[in-house]
Chains A and B, each alone.
Chain A
Amino acid sequence: MPAYQGQRTLLVCLLALALMWADQNYSIVQTLRFAAGYVLYPAQQAALIPSSIAGWFSELGTARQDLLDENRQLSARNLVLELKAQRLASLEAENAELRELLSASEQVDDKVLVTTVVAIDPDPFSQQVLINKGSENGVFIGQPVLDAYGLLGQVVDVLPFSSKVMMIADSNHAIPVQINRNGVRAIATGTGALDQLELIYVPNTADIKEGDLLVSSGLGGRYPRGYPVAVVDRVEHQAGQMFASVTARPSAHLDRSRLLLLVFSQGAGKVPSKDLWKGAR
């Protein structure tokens, strides 16, 4: 301890008190504060280095956080979509069940595959739809397609994951049918209008009435037997004509059905595509 240290300390303390008093009353002491601040500046800047590095890292982290957030959002969205798809699948399954119950159960002992209409052919002269099942699902050309109410058409073009279905109302299409009531055979051709089929080669004398149900006859080996095709809505016997003019309304909801069934029945539909094209076009 140096000599007179207590007195010196007292002196410094008194000076400090005087300085405090001066600082409170006179602004001149501010220059002293500025001077001290200048001396402090390097230390303060050095103290900020870690925080600026931390800031830099947190900026990096923020970008990463953004990406993570985006990723999370996309994942959530994906989940929602997947959930929807799942719901669709379950609805499809449920619908298929109901459909199987609906369409006369004795007919549907064939294997079926549920499919969805994904597009409609915009060509007004062709009645074709695109479905979301293709060769990967075992779809083949000439395969019969049904909806909940009856025969809808046949597959005319197969891609790996989608297929084109020509509906029975297409003017290029014809299907052998028979009257459910008495077994009279006829051929129902499309007219190009979705709500109308024409029965050709029906003798004038044939026993056919309005309201008769037409079912597929299975002749020709294209369509399986016994599926409802159309209901006769007009019969005209014209004198002097060889054939009666008969029109029928398709049972299948050609313009409304969204969920369709692809039928895998033994012996039906397996026609070489070359022949099919000949017949279809």
Chain B
Amino acid sequence: MSIQSLIIGLLALFFGFVLEHLPMPDLIGWFQPLWVLVVVTLLVFQAPRTFGLWLAVPAGLMLDAEHATLMGTHVFTMAIHIFLVQLFFRRMEVFNLFQQMGVVLVLALLHQLLRFWLAQVLFDYPHPIDIWGPALSSVFVWPWVFALLRLTVLRTHT
């Protein structure tokens, strides 16, 4: 665990939450990317020794507070998400950008689907089509966030 990547990672998470909270016009609000998910993915992918499963608890709880979901919902989805990223990150390193985007799409969709299932078990979730918008937009922000964090000193296996 390196202090430097921890600080950069937390800063990135902070901005992830800022963007997550950013008020969006109704029209494109449906497409608001899962910023925190993307950042968490990237952190776990780029600095797996610093950011691991533990990140699921604070990030998940804050996401629950942010989205006013039942406490633990996002912890659950985040834990599974981080586990899958850790499972894939070796392969993701040799993937090109489009393959990475494909992985992010699958992961984001799974995250959304889990959220949807959990919400449906516990409440009435609006509409299943809501799953797709954020997942798709998350895929398209992935390369940018990836490139941005690559500019920092955050490097693989720190």
Residues of A within 8 A of B (CB): 1-2, 5-6, 8-9, 12-13, 15-20, 22-24, 29, 32-33, 36-37, 39-40, 42-44, 46-48, 50-51
Interface size on B, residues (CB 8 A): 34
Q: CA separation between A33 and B62, bound complex, in Å?
A: 8
Q: Is the contact region of chain A dominated by helix, strand, or loop, or is it mixed?
A: helix
Tell me which residues across on chain A come within 8 A of B1, comparing CB atoms.
Answer: none
Pairwise interchain contact B118-A20, C-beta atoms closer than 8 A:
yes
Can you name the residue of chain A whose Cβ is closest to the Cβ of B87? A1
Q: CA separation between A22 and B72, bound complex, in Å?
A: 9
Tell me which residues across on chain A come within 8 A of B58, comparing CB atoms.
Answer: 39
Pairwise interchain contact A39-B83, C-beta atoms closer than 8 A:
no
| Per-residue A-contact encoding for B20-58, CB less than 8 Å = 1, 0 else | 111100000000000000000000000000001100111
Q: CA separation between A18 and B75, bound complex, in Å?
A: 11
State how many angstroms separate the Cβ of A64 from the closest Cβ of chain B: 21
The 10 listed contacts between A and B (C-beta, < 8 Å) are A2-B52, A9-B79, A12-B57, A19-B71, A19-B72, A20-B71, A33-B71, A36-B65, A36-B71, A39-B65
Pairwise interchain contact B18-A32, C-beta atoms closer than 8 A:
no
Pairwise interchain contact B62-A40, C-beta atoms closer than 8 A:
yes
Q: Is B94 an interface residue (CB 8 A)?
A: no
Q: Is B70 an interface residue (CB 8 A)?
A: yes
Pairwise interchain contact B64-A33, C-beta atoms closer than 8 A:
yes
Tell me which residues across on chain A come within 8 A of B15, comparing CB atoms.
Answer: 43
Residues of B within 8 A of A (CB): 14-15, 17-23, 52-53, 56-58, 60-62, 64-66, 70-73, 75-76, 79-80, 82-83, 86-87, 118, 122
Pairwise interchain contact A17-B72, C-beta atoms closer than 8 A:
yes
Q: CA separation between A43 and B70, bound complex, in Å?
A: 20
Pairwise interchain contact A12-B56, C-beta atoms closer than 8 A:
yes
Tell me which residues across on chain B come within 8 A of A40, comparing CB atoms.
Answer: 17, 21, 62, 65-66
Pairwise interchain contact A20-B72, C-beta atoms closer than 8 A:
yes
Q: Given A12-B56, A24-B70, does the pair A42, B14 have CB atoms closer than 8 Å?
A: yes
Pairwise interchain contact B80-A43, C-beta atoms closer than 8 A:
no
Which residue of B65, B71, B83 contacts A5 across the interface (Cβ within 8 Å)?
Answer: B83
Which residue of B19, B53, B62 contacts A9 across the interface (Cβ within 8 Å)?
Answer: B53
